[in-house]
Amino acid sequence: MNNKKSASLKYQQIEEELKQLILEEQIKPGEKMPSENVLTAKYGVSRQTVRKAISNLINEGFVYAVQGSGTFCSDASRFKKDSKDIAVVMTYLSDYIFPKVISGIDSVLSENGYSIVLKNTNNSRTREIQCLENLIEKNIDGIIIEPSKSNVFCKHKYLYDRLDSYGIPYIFIQGAYSVMEDKPHVIMDDEKGAYLLTEHLIKLGHRNILGVFKSDDTQGQNRHKGYAKALAKEGIAYDPENVIWFYTEDRAVHPYTTLQKMIRSGKKVDAIVAYNDQIAFHLIKAIRELGLKVPEDISITGYDNSQTSTNTDITLTTIVHPQQELGKIAAEALLKMIHGEEVDKKIVIEPKLITGNSCKNRAI
C-alpha cells in the first residue's frame, strides 16, 4: 500500500472513531476534543492527517473550533431547525410492497407541507447505521424507519438514543427491535395472520403442513408463532422438521432448494404456509419443476397480497397487507409526535384473509 493511500485510510479511521465516541456520548456536547498532539501520538500519523479528520468532523457538524482554544463536541440540537424534511428509511425501495408503503407516507406528508428524504438499507445493519449517522448530521424533523433484521439484537441503540437527545422523533414500521418496543411502531398482527392461514388449510383437510419463515425479522418469528398456535389448537403435533427457516441473504435460494430436497426424500407435504407472497411464488416454481401441481398436489398460502407475479395462473390465498394505509398511519403518527402530541406506542393493524385458487379442499 502506498503512503498516500495509507494516509487516506488513517484520517478516515480517526474520523470514524471520534464520531463513534461522540455518538455514544463518551465525548459529551461542549466537551473539548483530544488535542492534535494527543491524536498524532495515539495514531502515529502526521498533524496533516489529524487536521483532515478534524476538518471533516467540523464540516459534518460533529465538532466546532474556537480560535485559540481548540475544538469542541457539538450539540447537534442547536443546529436543528424546522426543515420540513422527513427521512424515510426502508429495507428496500423499488420492489414488492415498498413503493405503495412509501406512496402512503408521501400522500400524508406532502399534504402537510413536508418533503421525503428516502434512504435504503437493503436490510443491512451496516447500511442502517450509516443511514442514521448521515441523518443525524442533517437537518430533519423526524424519521419513519423499517428496522433491518428486526429479530436480531440491536447493537446500535446508541444512535436512537442520540435522536432522542436531539428531540428528533422517529417511528418504526413493520417491526421493532426488542430493546425499543417502548418506542412508537406500526405493525401488522402477523401472528394472527399466519394463524388464519394455517387454520384455513386445516379446515380444508390438510394435515402435512410445512411452514417457511424468515428468521431474522420479527414478522417471520410472529408468523411462525401463529402457524404453531393453529396446529396446536387443531390437535396437530408441531414438528420442527416441517419448518424451513431462511435468512435475508439466502431468501432466493434456500427455501426453494430445501423444499425440493424434502419432497424428493419422500416427505409427506400437502400444504405450505409461506412467509410472504414472494416466497410462495418461488416455492410454486420449485414444486412445478418436480412435476407436481398447485393446488392439486400441494396447496400454498402467501402473505401481503402483493401478487408479485403476473405470469402465472395462480392467485394466492393470502393476508391483505394495507400497504398505503400502513404508510399513512405511520406518517400521521409521526406528525403528531413532531407537534408534541402523544401517540400509541404500538399501533396494530388487524389481518384479513382473502382466498385465491392456490388451495384445494381435501376434506371433500
- Over residues 65-72, the mean pLDDT reads 85
pLDDT in tens, 294-334: 999 999 999 999 865 455 789 999 999 898 999 999 999 99
For residue 2, is pLDDT > 70?
no
Tens of pLDDT along 228-244?
A: 999 999 999 999 999 99
pLDDT (0 to 100) of residue 94: 75
Element (H, E) at 214: strand 209-214
* Model pLDDT, residue 7: 54
pLDDT per position as a tens digit, 72-111: 998 754 445 578 999 999 998 877 778 899 999 999 999 9
Whether residue 20 has pLDDT greater than 60: yes
**Pairing label, strands 318-319, 353-354:** antiparallel
pLDDT above 90 (res 247): yes
167 pLDDT higher than 80? yes
The CA distance from 33 to 45, in Å, is 17
Backbone angles phi, psi at 59, to 5 degrees: -65, -30
Q: Mean pLDDT in the chain?
A: 91
DSSP of 273-289, one letter per residue?
A: EESSHHHHHHHHHHHHH
- Per CATH, which fold does 3-74 belong to? Arc Repressor Mutant, subunit A (1.10.10)
- The answer on pLDDT for 178 being more than 60 is yes
Residue 138 confidence (pLDDT) above 90:
no
Query: Which three cell numbers, joined as nine digits, stand for 3?
Result: 503512503
pLDDT at 309: 46
| Mean pLDDT (whole number) for 111-120 | 95
Higher-confidence residue: 49 or 165? 49
Pairing of strands 115-120, 85-90: parallel
β-pairing, 63-66 with 70-73? antiparallel
Q: Which CATH number fits domain 190-321: 3.40.50.300, 3.40.50.2300, 3.40.50.1820, 3.40.920.10?
A: 3.40.50.2300
Query: Residue 64: is its pLDDT beyond 60?
Result: yes
- Determine the average pLDDT of the residues in 253-262: 97
Residue 8 has pLDDT above 70, yes or no: no
Per-residue pLDDT at 360: 97
Predicted confidence (pLDDT) per residue in 203-212, tens digit: 999 999 999 9
Q: What percent of the chain has a predicted confidence (pLDDT) above 70? A: 95
Task: Give pLDDT, residue 355.
Answer: 96
Domains 79-188+323-349 and 190-321 share a fold: yes
Residues contacting 86, CB < 8 A, separation 6+: 105, 109, 114, 115, 116, 117, 140, 141, 142, 143, 144, 331, 334
The superfamily in CATH containing domain 79-188+323-349 is Response regulator (3.40.50.2300)
Domain boundaries, the chain: 3-74, 79-188+323-349, 190-321
The share of the chain scoring above pLDDT 90, in percent, equals 75
Q: CA 243 to CA 211: how far, in whole Å?
A: 5
Look at residue 60 in the predicted model and tell me its pLDDT: 74
In this prediction, residue 1 carries a pLDDT of 42
Please check the confidence at residue 19 and state whether its pLDDT lies above 90: no
